[in-house]
Amino acid sequence: MRYLPHTEKEIEAMLAVTGHGQLEELFAHIPEDCRYQGDMKLPEPLSEWALSDHFQSLAANNYSTSAKAVLLGAGSYSHYIPEMVPSLIQRSEFLTAYTPYQPEMAQGTLQGIFEYQTLTARLLGMEVANASMYDGASALAEALLMALRIAHKKHTVAISSAIHPYYREVVHTYLQAGIFNIIELPVAENGRTDLAGLKEIDDLAAVALQSPNFFGVIEDLETASREIHAAEALFITCFTEPFAYGLLRSPGISGADIVCGEGQSFGMPQSSGGPGLGMFACLKKHQRNIPGRVAGETVDIEGKRGYVLTLSTREQHIRREKATSNICSNQGICTLTAAAYMASLGATGLRRVAKLNYDKAAYLKNGLVQAGAKLLFSGPTFNEFVLTFADDFKPVRQRLLDKGIIAGLELSRFYKEYEKAYLFCVTETVARTVLDEVIEEVRS
């Protein structure tokens, strides 16, 4: 959008309408000690083309996914997007459609949500899926609040330290205002969550694990389910990479009660961190406590198939203070994107892409280990893994960066105890020649 400043004459005309003599009077209601005093130290004005050149020079200092390869992961993943997906979702009847509250006017929107819910439930092995949450982090926080509602009189939840650090921060933000206790479970030497201390926790409503977790390690969900249910708590599984369940056993089959996570991998570019969507599913017996809304299929008085909102227990509707969530909308265009992506690939396509992710990551992992790196964790991984190096990896990382390869995320940014450890990620978009280049650079 172009910046079109107002002239002095236009400003005078607007002030005349508001009844003020000068612009400063518009802010008189703000206490003087809260207002900035003096003039801001701004550079001299530039012409439009000079300003454009200036911003381009600033942009040149940044790296983007247009680089040769980005091997970082950590909750945001580069996947190939079939052209049919953006072509479909950019149709005006999808892109400009908004509210599904009037079903007679929004059958396309409602059907899109319904198809997304169906595909999500199948992928995650659950019985009910909602129309999506804002993102994976808010979905996890809502899942824990849901578990606390179901448990009713319990006030403690346990979350794995191997859950994405940003997700855990959001959980703390959501729950800090209530009378809830949050316990973070430690990580074992194999990279999986240590559940040994569950029996010592009283008042436990739910336990949340991420699989694959932040380190890329695949949790043993079936064993975790038995131990968590033995502690009379609900089992919540979250994820940042839904592609894993194109290859691994789904959380629902493994015994999870609630499953949630980020769906950005399904047809959405990384786009500097967003947008994405929070995928959310649960067992049918818990559907009355599910946050957000659910679209359902029905028939009209003429027997024709139609779609409606079958559940929408949010604060804008009749539930008011009894609402299960204050999230006011689903990620409409993102859910449609995810549905189009899952439908275009199908079960076979999802499995193939997931297998490519697994194989390419294993190729780089084995190659780097042979080149002298060491695995920090012994547990099985999907498309991410953590390595340590005998020598300082930073010079190697810089040489790769100079070649357009962004490799390795420093774990010490999130976990001080894992100094000199780096998280690597490989998806189907990375060529084998790039992986060989990284291996050779480490070996040299």
What is the pLDDT at residue 350? 96
Determine the distance from the C-alpha atom of residue 336 to the mean position of all C-alpha atoms in its chain, rounded to a whole number: 16
What is the pLDDT at residue 92? 80
Classify domain 69-80+347-443 at the CATH superfamily level: Aspartate Aminotransferase, domain 1 (3.90.1150.10)
What is the pLDDT at residue 1? 42
**Residue ranges of the chain with per-residue pLDDT less than 50:** 1
Secondary structure (DSSP) of 258-312: EEEEE-TTTT---GGG----EEEEE-GGGGGG-SSEEEEEEE-TTS-EEEEEEEE
Q: Where are the domains of the chain?
A: 69-80+347-443, 84-342
Q: How many other CB atoms sit within 10 Å of the CB of residue 349?
A: 15
**Burial tier of 219 (Cβ tally within 10 Å: 0-12, 13-18, 19+):** buried
CATH number corresponding to 84-342: 3.40.640.10
What is the pLDDT at residue 231? 95
Q: State the pTM of this model.
A: 0.85
